[in-house]
Amino acid sequence: MRKPCCDKQDTNKGAWSKQEDQKLIDYIRKHGEGCWRTLPQAAGLLRCGKSCRLRWINYLRPDLKRGNFAEDEEDLIIKLHALLGNRWSLIAGRLPGRTDNEVKNYWNSHLRRKLMNMGIDPNNHRLNQNLPRLQNPQDSSSATSSASCLEDGPSALPDLNLDLTMSIPSSTSAKISPEEKQKITESNLSKEPEVAAASPTLLLFQ
């Protein structure tokens, strides 16, 4: 197990004072960053080595860039995230003056939402489009057939002659006298030219 960098009981916690910040700045300017485990004691600080490192990197180093991210920085973060994923230290190394913690916070608070509003999945950087629901094939076929019927119009339907001529039942014809039968036959013969001139007639027989 790795030995802790310092005794937690003898270190200060909480906000850094101006005197502590100045001690850390003066020491690093004179000696460089060096080993963060031994730096607090050498600089005369009652702080943990990790606390000194984060304070310097995130707040005190002279090349630290403050303010909002520019558009070119946003584009670079998005491109690097597509290649490197959540490896924030590597991404921040390509952005002069930006810290890995700052880049991570900006990604989670702004850039993820920006990509989602553009319809892009922030995890894999691919389009996340909801395709429109396809029409049911049966509905489309029925719609096509109904449309074709409407296009053809009434002229496409056959012109049917539903004028029905019924013959006299055989049971009644037995009671009719020969003279009446002859009159009926003559009347049917006289109507034949009219039927021929009309459209085809459907004859129903019992």
pLDDT tens profile 159-179: 545 454 555 555 444 456 667
pLDDT score recorded for residue 162: 47
Q: What are phi and psi of 166, to 5 degrees?
A: -110, 135
CB neighbour list of residue 115: distance below 8 Å, 6 or more residues apart:
78, 121, 122, 125
pLDDT score recorded for residue 13: 86
What CATH number should be reported for the domain holding residue 122?
A: 1.10.10.60
CA 62 to chain centre: 44
Q: Collapse the DSSP code of 90 into the 3-class scheme (helix H, G, I; strand E, B; otherwise coil) and give the result.
A: helix
Q: Are 99 and 58 in contact, with CB atoms under 8 Å apart?
A: yes
- Kindly state whether residue 66 falls inside one of the protein's structural domains: no
33 in the same domain as 12? yes
- Kindly state whether residue 185 falls inside one of the protein's structural domains: no
Q: How far apart are CA 21 and CA 15, in angstroms?
A: 10
Give the tens place of pLDDT for each residue, 183-205: 666 665 555 444 444 445 555 55
55 in the same domain as 90? no
pLDDT score recorded for residue 33: 85
pLDDT score recorded for residue 12: 85
Give the tens place of pLDDT for each residue, 41-59: 999 999 999 999 999 988 9
pLDDT score recorded for residue 191: 52
Give the tens place of pLDDT for each residue, 75-114: 999 999 999 999 999 999 999 999 999 999 999 999 999 9
- Kindly state whether residue 179 falls inside one of the protein's structural domains: no
Overall domain count for the chain: 2
The rounded mean pLDDT for the chain is 75
pLDDT score recorded for residue 16: 93
117 in the same domain as 78? yes
Q: Are 201 and 163 in contact, with CB atoms under 8 Å apart?
A: yes
Bridge partners of 204, per DSSP, are 166
Domain with 93, as residue range(s), is 71-127
Bridge partners of 126, per DSSP, are 121
Q: How far apart are CA 95 and CA 111, in angstroms?
A: 16
pLDDT score recorded for residue 203: 52
Q: Is 45 exposed, middle or buried (0-12, 13-18, 19+ CB in 10 A)?
A: buried
Q: How far apart are CA 137 and CA 197, in angstroms?
A: 48
pLDDT score recorded for residue 65: 87
Q: Are 39 and 71 in contact, with CB atoms under 8 Å apart?
A: no
Per-residue CA distances from 193 to 117, 187, 190, 198 (Å) = 82, 12, 7, 9
State which H helix or E strand residue 155 sits in: none
Q: Which residue has the higher pLDDT, 35 or 140?
A: 35
Indicate the DSSP class of residue 57.
I
